[in-house]
Amino acid sequence: DFPSGYTGYHNFAEMTSELQKTASDHPSIAKLSSIGKSFQGRDLWNLKISDNAGTDENEPEVIITCNQHAREHLTVEMCLHFIQRLTDGYTTNSAIKALVDSREIWVVSSVNPDGSEYDIATGSFRGWRKNRQGAGTDLNRNWGYKWGCCGGSSGSTSSDTYRGPSAFSAPETARIRDFVNSRVVGGVQQIKTNLDFHTFSELVLWPFGWTYNNTAPGLDANEERAFRTLGTQMASTNGYTPEQSSDLYITDGTIDDWMWGQYKIWSYTFEMYPSSGGLNGFYPRDTVIAAQTARNDRATDMFLQYSDCVKRVIGQTC
């Protein structure tokens, strides 16, 4: 389990209880389901937050994902904080109510529960990143858009950025893909936006990661301007640095490139606290959780606000 100094973090069982409690305390606006199992058989929980949560309404859909990388435990807390703020704030905060009423928000608070549990199993952190299938696959190199295209992932199983033997070879990415595919209704993808949380470096990133070019086939100058404008505005609320994801380094097979490349889902990656560090940058004490999750309240509100039409941020219609 988590070592002393870290007991404020949620392990998988604690996260599961928290999600179940939220759903039972707020049955009209929170509905919990599993989109399938991890490699080792843990549930991949997906909490829907919306008014009339049991009904599929005609509202822009949003998907928030956390913990693709095992050791990035602060991101689980980010998803849980986001859930708690929207559900507990619903009756008292009119701005929150307006967002919850006008969106259907899916939250996958742990994409990689096996890796996360493995990271804490001995009581001291292992520094583990990947899932637990064989030698481990880096889930954020396993998505099926330009998978393995560009030197932004590794073909060797021992690497921390091993892309897997084929796109979506990991059950964790495959189940989220299946879920996102299932949200095509009447030929229209219902999910408009995605926010994927990582640690660390305090960055707001947008596609593409596979090329240094700002634009590419499937991402025109106008779209790039909308990505940049909303990314920059969100970053101005949390003090992160906004940039195209390849400005960090080239990656291929990432969730954001797939979401955008496959479906034109406006997908951002947030790299949370701290701004720099070595391996210990992945392990901030639990005393920082409250401040470092609340730090993204305004950015996530803005993200939800524009989720009906991201191009509104540059004065365009959808």
**Which residues are annotated as catalytic?**
271
* Residue 136 Cβ vs ligand 0X9, minimum distance, rounded to whole Å: 13
Select from Zn ion, ligand 0X9, Ca ion, none the partner in contact with residue 38, using the beta carbon and a kind-dependent cut-off of 5 to 8 Å: none
The piece of 82-90, 222-230, 235-243, 247-255 that touches ligand 0X9 (CB under 6 A) is 247-255
* Residue 186 Cβ vs ligand 0X9, minimum distance, rounded to whole Å: 30
Q: Edge-to-edge strand order for the sheet containing 266-272? A: 30-37, 43-49, 104-108, 61-66, 191-199, 266-272, 203-206, 241-244
> Does residue number 136 form part of the binding site for ligand 0X9 (CB under 6 A)?
no
> Does residue number 71 form part of the binding site for Zn ion (CB under 5 A)?
no
> Does residue number 251 form part of the binding site for ligand 0X9 (CB under 6 A)?
yes
Q: Binding residue for Zn ion (CB under 5 A) from 81, 163, 198, 311?
A: 198
Q: Kindly identify the residues of this chain, within the stretch 167-226, that bind Ca ion according to CB under 5 A.
A: 190
* Residue 95 Cβ vs Ca ion, minimum distance, rounded to whole Å: 17
**Can you read off the two tokens belonging to residue 147?**
């998978």
**Can you read off the two tokens belonging to residue 269?**
């990656």
Q: Kindly identify the residues of this chain, within the stretch 143-182, that bind ligand 0X9 according to CB under 6 A.
A: none
> Does residue number 69 form part of the binding site for ligand 0X9 (CB under 6 A)?
yes
CB 227 within 8 A of CB 235: no
Nearer to ligand 0X9, 43 or 247 (CB): 247
> Does residue number 69 form part of the binding site for Zn ion (CB under 5 A)?
yes
CA Rg value for the chain = 18
Select from Zn ion, ligand 0X9, Ca ion, none the partner in contact with residue 56, using the beta carbon and a kind-dependent cut-off of 5 to 8 Å: Ca ion
Give the whole-angstrom CA distance, residue 82 versus residue 71.
20
Q: Binding residue for Ca ion (CB under 5 A) from 16, 22, 46, 50?
A: 50
DSSP E strands: which ranges in 125-257? 184-185, 188-189, 191-199, 203-206, 241-244
End-to-end C-alpha distance for the chain, whole angstroms: 47
- Alpha-helical regions (H) of the chain: 12-25, 74-88, 94-102, 113-120, 171-182, 221-238, 255-263, 289-294, 297-305
Give the whole-angstrom CA distance, residue 283 versus residue 4.
12
> Does residue number 52 form part of the binding site for Ca ion (CB under 5 A)?
yes
> Does residue number 311 form part of the binding site for Zn ion (CB under 5 A)?
no
Burial (0-12, 13-18, 19+ Cβ within 10 Å), 275: middle
> Does residue number 209 form part of the binding site for ligand 0X9 (CB under 6 A)?
yes
CB atoms within 10 A of CB 256: 27
> Does residue number 198 form part of the binding site for ligand 0X9 (CB under 6 A)?
yes
> Does residue number 256 form part of the binding site for ligand 0X9 (CB under 6 A)?
yes
In eight-state DSSP terms, residue 63 is E
Q: Binding residue for ligand 0X9 (CB under 6 A) from 205, 226, 304, 310?
A: 205
The kind and range of the H/E element at 64 are strand 61-66
Q: Which residues bind ligand 0X9 (CB under 6 A)?
A: 69, 72, 140, 198, 205, 209, 245, 248, 251, 254, 256-257, 269, 271
The contact set with Ca ion (CB under 5 A) reads 50-52, 56-57, 104, 190
